[in-house]
Every structure is written in C-alpha cells, then in structure tokens.
Amino acid sequence: MKKILFRTIVVAVSILSLVLIASCATDGSQSGDSDGAYAKADLKLGGLLYDKWAKVRNLETAGNHPLYPALGKKKGGDTFRCKECHGWDYIGKDGRYSKGSHYTGIKGLYDSRTKSPEELYSALTDTDAKHNFSKHLTDSGDIWALAKFIKEGQLDITTALGPDGKAKGSVSRGKTLFDSNCSRCHGEDGNKLDFKGDKNGVQGVGWLANDNPQESLHKIRIGHPGSAMPSMIVERGLSDSETVDILTYSLTL
C-alpha cells in the first residue's frame, strides 16, 4: 500500500514539473531559442509577413525604410516589405529585381537559410541596426515565424523557372492540382476573383502568373495576406514540385 502511495507521489511530482517546464516555455520574449519558440513558429505566417507584414499586422509605417537605397524607385510602405529588398524569388539583386523599377542592389535570403534560427532572429532584432524589425513587429512569435520561413520556406527558384522564364512543371499534373485546390475560389478558368491590376479586363490567376511568375509561386506556396487562401505547402501538404506544376498550368490560363 505504502509503495503505491509512494509511486503516486513520484508520478504527481513528475507531472507537476512537466507542467512547470511547459508553462515557462510559453514566454517567447527572449532572443534565445531555449524555449523552443522556433519549433513552434508558424511557417505560413512567416511567408505572409515576408510578403506584407504591415498588412498582416495592420501597422502603419512612415517614410521610406532607412535601408532603402536612394537609387530605388519605390516609396513609402512598399520599401518596408521584405520582398521589396530581398525578392519574390528570394535572390534579390540576382533575380527578377536585377533591373527595373524594383532594383535595389540588395542580395536575397536564399543562402541565409543555412544560418541558425538565432542568427536570423538577431538579424531582425538588433536594436543598433537599421534592420531592426522588432520595433514594428513587437510579438517575438512573428520574428521567429520569419526566421522559420527563411530557413524552411524558401525554394530554389531555378527548380521552378528556367533562365528563359519558362516554368519547369507539368501542365497536366498542374491542371489536376489546380482543379482540386484552386478552382473552388478562383474558378476553373482562374478568373472568378479579379486581382485588379492596372490593365483592362479581369486580372486573374493566369494574368498574374504571366505577369509575375515568381510572385505567383510565392502566393501559391504560402497564400495571400488578408485572405482566406490556404498555403499549399503548409495547409495542403503539397510538395514544392507540385506547386511548380500549379504555376506551370496557371501560365496557360
């Protein structure tokens, strides 16, 4: 009888200590990852923040970002978007933004995926640097989500698009995936929702895919800030090559 009582006490004490450890882990305010904040971080959220964090968090920005170069053509809120300096294709000055109105000369983050979560966290929160985003994104969970996207969410754009800009996937596999994952919202022809660009007519999935395949692929993989669109890699569990198939089919719409 005594033995059972003793065992019950041991089990109760172990459960109590586990609960205590778990409750400490919910404080994600430190920059170290001792609390597993990186493991808990949400990759989809990170990709949406990379796209347009001010929209996701409903924040205002003033003027141009302090790191936005004088030679750049953009102004205001756009200059604070990660994608504006580091690119939709994650290779900044070496990719789509190597010339034209989005040129900044800033490198992409694809190679930074080999850095540790803590190094990425520091790059975004160093209070002495102009690159400190923690003054806007005050929830450390958002910073860890960005670190997660950088480490685990980027794709090697050369596996998706050739140097000629042609998509490398399969149109027929893409159609099957589009019909089951996209057409309910975007219509079978991709034109049910009008993205309202600056041209005439409906600007749907096919229009954007042709206008900007790099941006389209990011949206297909991650989703679109402020919308109910699911992330194909996080919520639908598709592989990168399946998302490239969807892009390849989208170009035919």
Residue with tokens 């022809």: 189
Residue with tokens 């941006």: 215
Contacts of ligand HEC in 162-201 (CB under 6 A): 181-182, 184-186, 193, 195
Please give the full DSSP string across 165-192, using - where no structure is assigned: S-B-S-HHHHHHHHHHHTHHHH-TTS-S
Member of 25, 56, 57, 112 binding ligand HEC (CB under 6 A): 112
| Four-residue CA torsion sign, 157, 163, 165, 171 | negative
| Closer of 7 and 73 to ligand HEC (Cβ) | 73
Q: Which amino acid is at 162?
A: G
| Closer of 45 and 232 to ligand HEC (Cβ) | 232
Angle between helical axes of 140-148 and 43-56 (0-180°, round to 10):
120
Give the residue from 225, 215, 223 showing the smallest Cα distance to 87: 215
Q: Least distance in Å: CB of 16 to ligand HEC?
A: 39
Q: Percentages helix, strand, coil for the chain, rounded to the nearest 5?
A: 50, 0, 45
Number of residues that bind ligand HEC (CB under 6 A): 44
Element (H, E) at 196: none
Binding characters for ligand HEC, 13-52, by CB under 6 A (x = yes): -------------------------------------x--
Go through the chain and tell me how many residues it has. Answer: 253
Q: Least distance in Å: CB of 181 to ligand HEC?
A: 4
Binding segment for ligand HEC (CB under 6 A), chosen from 7-15, 19-27, 28-36, 213-221, is 213-221
Member of 45, 47, 48, 65 binding ligand HEC (CB under 6 A): 65
Q: Least distance in Å: CB of 248 to ligand HEC?
A: 11
Kindly state whether residue 232 participates in binding ligand HEC, applying the rule CB under 6 A: yes
Kindly state whether residue 253 participates in binding ligand HEC, applying the rule CB under 6 A: no
CA–CA gap between residue 224 and residue 226 (Å, rounded): 6
CA–CA gap between residue 246 and residue 205 (Å, rounded): 10
Member of 91, 229, 233, 251 binding ligand HEC (CB under 6 A): 229
Binding interface with ligand HEC (CB under 6 A): 50, 53, 65, 67-68, 79-82, 84-86, 106-107, 109, 112, 115, 120, 123-124, 131, 133, 146, 150, 181-182, 184-186, 193, 195, 205, 208, 216, 219-220, 224, 227-230, 232, 246, 250
